[in-house]
Amino acid sequence: MIREVLRSIFKKPATNLYPAQKLVMPEKFRGKLKFNPVKCIGCKMCMRDCPTGAITINKVGEKKFEAVIDLGKCIYCAQCVDSCLKKALEATREVELAQQDIKKLKVTYSDESGNEPPKEA
């Protein structure tokens, strides 16, 4: 027992000091989605294969599409990423998605960078 106590004093902690230290998720982690409207052809395969109905692709112009993703419904399985043959969707390592207002979990991506459009003041 004494040996075990002494060993744990000098051992590195098994837990992370989150949120004091930012987490770096593994390379293939499936976090918040990123959408590139330039690559999207509006085939809606991502919508068809999404198990929770979290993603909607809308036509916003001639050969222009936007993605609306409900982050509250998304289970971060990345099936839509695999289904997209044009590689318009990508799973990022972003995990800090908590919101106090449930409406803010529904986000529209129409920007090429995959970022949400700036919020109106």
Closer CB to ligand SF4, residue 16 or residue 115? 115
Structure tokens at 1: 């027992």
Distance CA 18, CA 12 (A): 15
Question: In terms of CB distance, is 18 or 82 closer to ligand SF4?
Answer: 82
Binding residues vs ligand SF4 (CB under 6 A): 40-46, 50-52, 54-55, 57, 65, 69, 74-80, 83-84, 86, 88-89
Measured distance CA(35)–CA(89) in Å, rounded: 5
Q: How far is the CB of 106 from ligand SF4 (least distance, A)?
A: 12
Query: What DSSP assignment string belongs to 18-46?
Result: TTTS-----TT---SEEE-TTT-----HH
Q: Least CB distance from residue 63 to ligand SF4, whole Å?
A: 11
* Beta carbon of residue 33, minimum distance to ligand SF4 (angstroms, whole number): 6
* Cα→Cα distances 30→79, 81, 82, Å: 10, 10, 12
When the beta carbons of 13 and 26 are compared against ligand SF4, the nearer one is: 26
